[in-house]
Amino acid sequence: MKKPILGKRTFLRDNTVPAIAFEKAMTIRHRNTFSIAAGEEQNEPLYTGRYIAVLKEGADDFKHARKVFTNNAGMKISSINDFNANNYAAANEVDADVITYDQLGVALISGEPEQISTVSAMADNEYIIIPERIAYVPEDLPALADRDVATWGLNCTDVLKSTYTGNGVKVAILDTGFTMNHPDFAGRNITAQSFVDGDTDPMDHHGHGTHCTGTACGGIDANGLRYGVATKADIYIGKVLGNNGSGSQQSIWNGILWAADSGCKVISMSLESPVFPGQNYDLTYERFAKYASAKGAIVIAAAGNGSKRNWGHFTPVSSPADCPSVLAVAALDSNMNVADFSNRCINPTAQVDIAAPGYDIYSSWTLPQRYNRIHGTSMATPHVAGILALLWEQYPNYSPSEITVELFKFAKRLALPSIDVGIGLVMAK
């Protein structure tokens, strides 16, 4: 299987130049967000160079497509069903041009351009061909260094008042991995696997995944300050984004399958691919989210950090958060205002479902730093993941839809548009 061509998320928080240069960088980023189609060069491409075949609704299986792949395009085919849940990552190394996900009506194709043209031309109304997209860690903007460290997110969501801890609930964080030797997590039940091409180590060398894991399932820091929601949840780490902050759709698909097949009740994804105004949601992500739901899991994702509200710039909810079967999480600041960067519902099928603290969030980080405070819808999403774990502990026999009803029932309504915050502020019960 041909390796995906991935981009690199260059973090503005790492920029040491004066503030005016920071503003210039932000201007360039927002200018490029909707000008990629015009052919502008950028360091964060949209596509991996591979393609996806998606069966249309009503098509039974890949019977016709398999003939096209092999007989007409001369491709080798493998199936994800040849691998068990603990070995999905091995599919990245298989000697094949096509990997089918038969139960989901999806196939990943890594052929040559002429082969892609052949399978596209012979689709015969059975399937469509779309490019495989790159997912990125959303821009985790720098927090204010002169503010007191405080877990305001836990206080405003009533987490500290809850008698539940997520005990025994399996929570999957699909991200850049996790700092497995972080001292705050000593003795915790942690299962980890990497789905990144060429990287079998789930260790986080980026920081983003460790931060999200800490908010969702962490505990108490070295000074006795609590920063995690579900302090006794079982943690499942799926490394789907590489150390450069990007990953292929296939890595994320395999992470979702692994988490769902492992019995995780919550699958949290603080990652994004940009979506243009008028663009439909990704059919493959929707099918994988439905698969997870059928297995008993709730899938949530960050709404994305592409907006610049102070400039009047609003960006649609990112992918995969824009899928109907994925809960999209927006970010709020400590004054209960929508965070400047938080995306909004612009496309008809891509709504914001709920909002959570996502500004100046303190959590675990890679060693030796150990802790960090950053902003982003990425930081809001694990607040919801942790609170979902508390609900699953309280209602272990509920279905995903019933748990979602409880989540929405106890959310705090805000005097803000639903296109920005959905049902309101997530609250623990």
Residue 362: partners with Cβ closer than 8 Å, 6 or more residues away: 149, 150, 151, 225, 227, 371, 372, 373
- The domains of the chain are located at 47-133, 136-421
Name the nearest CA neighbour of 98 among 133, 132, 124.
132
204 catalytic, yes or no?
A: no
Opening angle at CA 277, ends 273 and 283, nearest 5: 55
311-366: per-residue pLDDT in tens? 999 999 999 999 999 999 999 999 999 999 999 999 988 999 999 999 999 999 99
Is 313 annotated in the active site?
A: no
Split at pLDDT 50, 70, 90, the class of 265 is very high
- The catalytic residue among 208, 211, 375, 383 is 208
Considering only residues 349 and 86, tell me which one the structure prediction assigns the higher pLDDT: 349
Question: What predicted TM-score, i.e. pTM, was given to this entire model?
Answer: 0.87
Marked catalytic residue, from 175, 234, 322, 420: 175
Q: How far apart are CA 91 and CA 101, in angstroms?
A: 11
Rounded to an integer, what distance in angstroms lies between the CA atom of residue 64 and that of residue 126? 8
Beta-strand relationship, 298-302 and 327-332: parallel
Q: State pLDDT tens for residues 10-65.
A: 443 443 333 334 344 444 444 444 443 333 345 677 888 899 999 988 776 777 88
* Domain boundaries 136-421, corresponding CATH code: 3.40.50.200
Q: Is the pLDDT of residue 420 over 50?
A: yes
The second-level CATH assignment, the architecture, of 47-133 is 2-Layer Sandwich (3.30)
**Can 47-133 and 136-421 be said to share one CATH topology?**
no
Q: Which CA distances in Å does 328 have to 225, 342, 390, 424?
A: 28, 11, 19, 12
pLDDT tens string 182-210: 999 999 999 999 999 889 999 999 999 99
Q: Two tokens at 419?
A: 């296109």
300 phi and psi, to 5 degrees?
Answer: -130, 155
Active-site residue, 175 included:
yes
Question: pLDDT of 297-313, one tens digit each?
Answer: 999 999 999 999 989 99
Instruction: Catalytic residue, from 246, 270, 318, 378: name it.
Output: 378
